[in-house]
Amino acid sequence: MTDRLTITRPDDWHLHLRDGAMLAAVAPESARHFARALVMPNLVPPVVTGAQASAYRDRILAALPAGHDFTPLMSLYLTEATDPADVVSAYNQGIITAVKLYPAGATTNSASGVRDMDRIRPVLEAMAEQGIPLCVHGEVTDASVDIFDREAVFIETALDPLRRATPGLRVILEHVTTSEGVDYVRANDNIAATITTHHLVINRNHILAGGIRPHYYCLPVAKRETQRQALLDAATSGDPRFFLGTDSAPHPDKAKLAPCGCAGCFTASNSMAILAHVFEQTGALERLEGFTSLHGAAFYGMARNTGTLTLIRESADTPRQIDTIDGPVTVFDPGFTPDWRVAE
């Protein structure tokens, strides 16, 4: 039995780092294990221009510990007023790696997102022409659609028409949670999907059975067990169209444990240990590296990392929380102690 596993240093293709004191508290957690992360732009106010992305990147770099080896890759928040020329120029200057589409109202800080897909057509066309990837939060926001159906309905009514209208656009279906999403990615070209750590571990029972557990509430909400199995199949299959985007999304406990709690699981600290455990349990430990370190870089057309990360077969508890000036942020509890830990 392998007791040490050394893999190419991983990347996180979907990460929330926030800003200010929260950024300072959480950035070192990602920098410890990951070489690069695609940083989400849903700040308040959102990161909508190349100049704002560049300034945010500077704030992230300033928040990192000395001697870090971590590169934040920036994304722009797409609005109906986004200027295609600004997107193209930010991309060509190397300021941004991708553009993020939030349907308005879909999740945390998404009020400035897109209501009318026709209005973003010129930006999408410019992106397709330049090869700029579009990251998509794939949920409809229509109040009449059941929250557990919102991803599947989005794929049919918004994503597929959008892709057909903009041939050649490279799309990442972020944090896929359904077999409909997995099947759609498998059946089409120019599309990949990120999968989070927590969606590989929890189903909706974890949130709701035997008491409500706000720390497991995120968006898209975890679905039923058969859907979790579909995600696990995709992640451990070796298919390069599926790769890690943790969607690690810190909120202070007081904002999670509230009558209307925020969506998000904070997984930056223990994702790699949990994933090693889950992949081994599935008999796919040798495919962990592809999922965490190779497939994403290939889809984004970037070189793989030259550094490595070593995992050791040793169960170790990760800290249950990290402290911020807004109080503690609870680290995602997978419900088991991983058999692996990262060698620090």
Give the residue numbers annotated as catalytic, written as ranges: 247
Minimum Å gap between C-beta 33 and Zn ion is 18
Of 167, 201, 196, nearest in space to 181 by CA: 196
Of 72-80, 86-94, 243-251, 302-310, the segment contacting Zn ion by CB under 5 A is 243-251
Of 84-92, 240-248, 270-278, 298-306, the segment contacting Zn ion by CB under 5 A is 240-248
Residues 80 to 99 in contact with Zn ion, rule: CB under 5 A = none
Which residues are at the interface with ligand DOR (CB under 6 A)? 16, 42, 107-108, 137, 218-219, 247, 249, 263-264
Amino acid (1-letter code) at residue 336: F
Residue 188 token pair: 């089409």
Q: Cα dist. 103→107, 111, 251 in Å?
A: 8, 8, 21
292, interface contact from ligand DOR, Zn ion, none, CB < 5-8 Å by kind: none
Q: How far is 220 from 62, CA to CA, in rounded Å?
A: 31
52, interface contact from Zn ion, ligand DOR, none, CB < 5-8 Å by kind: none
219, interface contact from Zn ion, ligand DOR, none, CB < 5-8 Å by kind: ligand DOR
Of 176, 215, 210, nearest in space to 334 by CA: 215
Minimum Å gap between C-beta 270 and ligand DOR is 17
Q: How far is 71 from 64, CA to CA, in rounded Å?
A: 10
- Between residues 199 and 341, which has the closer beta carbon with respect to ligand DOR? 199
* Count of chain residues binding Zn ion (CB under 5 A): 1
Could you tell me if residue 76 is left (phi over 0), alpha (psi between -120 and 50 degrees) or otherwise beta? beta
252, interface contact from Zn ion, ligand DOR, none, CB < 5-8 Å by kind: none
Which of 11, 247, 280, 289 is the binder for Zn ion (CB under 5 A)? 247
Helix, strand, or coil (residue 316): coil
Minimum Å gap between C-beta 107 and ligand DOR is 4
Check the CA dihedral 191-109-263-311 and report its sign: positive
Planar angle of CA 344, 286, 270, nearest 5 degrees? 35
Q: How far is 205 from 161, CA to CA, in rounded Å?
A: 33
Residue 230 token pair: 């579909």
Minimum Å gap between C-beta 264 and ligand DOR is 3
104, interface contact from Zn ion, ligand DOR, none, CB < 5-8 Å by kind: none
Strand partners, 71: 36
Helix, strand, or coil (residue 99): strand
- Between residues 139 and 247, which has the closer beta carbon with respect to Zn ion? 247
CA of residue 248 relative to chain centroid, distance:
7
97, interface contact from ligand DOR, Zn ion, none, CB < 5-8 Å by kind: none
Query: Which residue is listed with tokens 């759609």?
Result: 184
**Minimal CB distance to Zn ion: which residue?**
247
CA-only gyration radius of the chain, Å: 19
- Between residues 136 and 249, which has the closer beta carbon with respect to ligand DOR? 249
- Between residues 7 and 23, which has the closer beta carbon with respect to Zn ion? 23
Minimum Å gap between C-beta 108 and ligand DOR is 4
Minimum Å gap between C-beta 18 and Zn ion is 12
Q: Please report, as ranges, the residues that interact with Zn ion according to CB under 5 A.
A: 247
